[in-house]
Structure 1
Amino acid sequence: MKLAIMQPYFFPYIGYFQLIAAVDLFVVYDNIQYTKKGWINRNRILLNGSDTVISLPLKKDSDILDVRERELAADFKPGKLLAQLDGAYRKAPYFAHTMALVESTLRQDTRNLFAFLHHSLVASCAHLGITTPIQVSSGVDIDHALTGQDKVLAICKAAGAQTYVNAIGGQSLYASEDFLREGIDLRFIRSKLFAYEQFGAPFVPWLSLIDVLMFNPVAQVRAAIDNNYELL
């Protein structure tokens, strides 16, 4: 059984969904510390030919809180972000279909950051036809005081995983010999560039899934998710 574990992100790039589709069980961290300046509540879209950051504003709170303990700001207005996306993508070929997904996510009735991101992730996978089960990390029966590689190994063993798959950026975080000692094969997924036309301008890669879906039919996106990567 192949397993992957990741932090939740706000409409992440296509490689995140390649990782989900490549495994038999995907675990998403809720009991992990929120990190500033990361991509948990931010991502990039295309606006006037350049990449632009969009974000979910958060209520001011302690920096040591877990993701599941953070809340969206009281003044967060989904309509404002939807208007920004409308202005950026209204002329995109798959605008209507993609905006239906985005709007249903942004207008969900929760202020909890993790609940918001989890709903977005599940909805995006359903939109893409990805059926990999998604489990929340706090529901796994392990010692949750563990951190880093030790926590990953504990989750793998609790789930009965024979293979742990991580994004290519995690190569420096894990030691393959430690996984092998536990009878687990450590693999990494490396996405290949999925280029497509963006209003006839020079291509801006690795933007949010929102951008990918605005310019490509779901079937083509799913084909890229299933095939456009290497497993190392």
Structure 2
Amino acid sequence: MTSNNLKVVISQPMYFPWIGMFQQLHLADAFVFLDDVQLARGFYNRVQIKTDSGSKWLSVPVKRLSRSQLIMSSEIDYTKNWKKNHEQLLAHNLKQSPYYSDAIEVFREVAKENHQSLAELTIASMRAVARYWGMDNNVEYYKASDLACSKGSGSEKILNICKGVGASTYITGHGAKNYLEHEKFDDKGITVEYMNYNTTPYSQNFGLFTPYVTSLDTIANLGSSVGTHLHSKTTNWLDFINE
């Protein structure tokens, strides 16, 4: 895809991630799944759900072959009945929510496929949520492992991908502040914008609102009307790091 004003988001694929990831997607013209990087401990194979006894993890077990294995080559461990456990947790904790049936249908749409790789599963989960919310039609998707430009590491890798897909703007979360070489993006005519997350609280089960839970919680409580809760904008990198 090429454009005079192409906004791109680059992120590791995650398992039914929090609404903030879809706020990024909502602002993007292109989304690159960064699947050719190391599988580190984080949210790539797990996400939190609110329960009556506090937050719990929905975790996808992964076969650990080496410490340096990549997301794209990480296989799911099917010796554990994680799909059944996840569905039971979702049912127990979201069944009283008004759009629970929609949420569990989105989950089942993904779970019915026996994805062998973690990347396949997590990409499928993100795209299923995006489709449900009507965000999937105007975004072009890439996998970094399919892009010849995805070379190097850290800031260099991100810049190479941005150049390769023809981005004019790179939209990112706050963690990139610690490693991006912003001036090099400026030198290539690519604007770096940081997310300014702004999510209108909605009614949730089990106490005070938190956005840092699975997007299936958001679907269960808001249904398809999520657009009224997506108010996030972006801040130029210079303003962001000087805040």
**TM-score, with length taken from structure 1:** 0.92
| CA drift at 1:175 | 2.8
Calculate the aligned-residue CA RMSD, in Å: 1.5
Answer with 3-12 or 210-219: which moved more: 210-219
Q: Structure 1: which amino acid aligns with 2:170?
A: Y
Aligned equivalents of 2:200, 2:57: Cα separation in 1: 20
| CA drift at 1:50 | 2.2
Per-residue CA deviations over 1:53-92 (Å, capped at 9, x if unaligned) read 1100112321211001111112232122111111111111
Aligned equivalents of 1:140, 1:148: Cα separation in 2: 16
Counterparts of 1:188-203 in structure 2 under 5 Å? Answer: 188-199=194-205, 201-203=207-209
Q: Is 1:153 the counterpart of 2:152 in the alignment?
A: no
| CA drift at 1:217 | 2.4
Q: Can you give the 5+ residue segments of structure 2 that lack an aligned partner in the other structure?
A: 1-5, 236-243
1:15 is aligned, of 8, 17, 20, to 20
Per-residue CA deviations over 1:108-133 (Å, capped at 9, x if unaligned) read 12221111111112211111101211
Distance 1:192 1:143, change over 3 A: closer
Per-residue CA deviations over 1:197-227 (Å, capped at 9, x if unaligned) read 12373223321101111111212x13323xx
Correspondence for 2:50: 46
Q: Structure 2: which amino acid aligns with 1:199?
A: N
Correspondence for 2:183: 177
Correspondence for 1:72: 76
Correspondence for 2:110: 105
Correspondence for 1:55: 59
Correspondence for 1:27: 32
Contact kept? 2:50, 2:205, Cα under 8 Å: no
Aligned equivalents of 1:224, 1:174: Cα separation in 2: 29
Q: Structure 2: which amino acid aligns with 1:48?
A: D
Correspondence for 2:141: 134
SS in 2 for 1:171: helix
Contact kept? 2:50, 2:213, Cα under 8 Å: yes
Q: Is 1:123 the counterpart of 2:128 in the alignment?
A: yes
* Count of matched residue positions in the alignment of Structure 1 and Structure 2: 227
Aligned equivalents of 2:199, 2:209: Cα separation in 1: 11
Contact kept? 2:155, 2:180, Cα under 8 Å: yes
Q: Percent identity?
A: 23
Distance 1:187 1:69, change over 3 A: same
Correspondence for 2:241: none
| CA drift at 1:196 | 1.2
Q: Give every structure 1 segment of 4 or more consecutive aligned residues whose post-TM-superposition deviation is greater than 3 Å.
A: none
| CA drift at 1:49 | 5.8
Per-residue CA deviations over 1:171-218 (Å, capped at 9, x if unaligned) read 222132111111111111121133111237322332110111111121
SS in 2 for 1:193: coil
| CA drift at 1:140 | 1.5
2:89 is aligned, of 77, 84, 99, to 84
Aligned equivalents of 2:211, 2:127: Cα separation in 1: 24
Q: Can you give the 5+ residue segments of structure 1 that lack an aligned partner in the other structure?
A: none
Correspondence for 1:231: 234
Correspondence for 1:94: 99
Contact kept? 2:33, 2:143, Cα under 8 Å: yes
Correspondence for 2:223: 217
**TM-score, with length taken from structure 2:** 0.88
Q: Structure 2: which amino acid aligns with 1:24?
A: D
